[in-house]
Amino acid sequence: MEIIKIIGIALIALIMIILLKQYRPEFAIYISLLTGVLILLLVVDELKGIIGLLQSIASKASINSSFLTLLIKITGIAFLSEFAVSICQDSGEGAIASKIEIGSKIIIISMSIPIISSLLEIILKILP
């Protein structure tokens, strides 16, 4: 039950942050960062399993492996940017958070161009 570990870590961190904000507010962000990293480390094994499953499905369906790799990278960028945006917002830096969001969206769009062009080629072949 990984979710119980995740919730437990989050609740302990929350209590520590609430207590520390009164006396040492600068340490609250460090606890938040550490908590986020711990939670990410807890779910790494789950992510490995998901990636393995996707690779096996892609090989059975004869999907180009470069597309699968690209989709995994795009998903990773989305998760990591969301993590960074949350940390910035928790720190009260909404301007930086919005810049991270814009930057990550641009990177995701630019990375997805090969997939979009491949889909358009398939559509053009199907249409008369």
Residues 54 and 102 in one domain: yes
In tens digits, what is the pLDDT along the chain, a chain of 128 residues?
Answer: 789 999 999 999 999 999 988 888 888 888 988 998 899 899 988 888 888 888 888 888 877 778 888 988 999 999 999 989 988 888 888 999 999 999 999 999 999 998 899 889 989 988 87
What domain range is 21 assigned to? 1-42
21 and 59: one domain? no
SS3 128: coil
What is the DSSP secondary-structure string of 90-108?
Answer: HTT-HHHHHHHHHHHHHHH
| 22 & 83 share domain | no
Task: Give the DSSP per-residue string, 65-88.
Answer: HHHHHHHHHHHHHHHHHHHHHHHH
